[in-house]
Amino acid sequence: MPRPKPELSLKARALRFLAAREHSRLELARKLARHSEDADEIERVLDDFAARGWLSAERFAESVAHRRASRYGSARIRQELQQHGVEREVAAPVLAALQATELERATALWRQRFGRPPRDLTERARQQRFLLARGFSGDTVRRVLRTAAEGIADGPGQDWDDSDAS
């Protein structure tokens, strides 16, 4: 007969969560609250982990940005960081770095999803909604679609019209 698993301590649970991926303090506190009603004990564990460098808002913000950057714009990532309780001062450098690559990331995502300029206004609106819903700014979306319409979204020498392709 198998023995029942021993009950994990809060520290062990927190370590298990952090071993899987970075967590924000708020997110980790919520997960630990399911296993303890003592809020002071949870805070002590979180304080201990932060003091040891195991729990870091900066690392969490960078992790979220790294995981989400290829699919989402800065606005969507900013909102996710806010939901996780990351302070503006911590998020600002990460978001600034994302903003610097916003156009390239939006163009790559657009190219992966659509690959060709919109043929009519309905298709253009659909492509705009797609990028806007993923947190790219209106200016970035306009620039991506303008570049595509000009036929230079893939860079110089690329032709979007494949009607003359052999």
Span 12-55 CATH architecture: Orthogonal Bundle (1.10)
Query: Tell me: domain 102-155, CATH 1.10.10, correct?
Result: yes
Q: What φ, ψ does residue 89 adopt, rounded to 5°?
A: -65, -35
Task: Give the integer Cα–Cα distance in Å for 126 and 148.
Answer: 14
Q: What is the pLDDT along the chain (166 residues), one digit of tens a residue?
A: 676 666 788 999 999 999 999 999 999 999 999 998 899 999 999 999 999 999 999 999 999 999 999 999 999 999 999 999 999 999 999 999 999 999 999 999 999 999 999 999 999 999 999 999 999 999 999 999 999 888 744 444 344 444 433 3
**Other C-beta atoms lying within 10 Å of the C-beta of residue 35:** 13
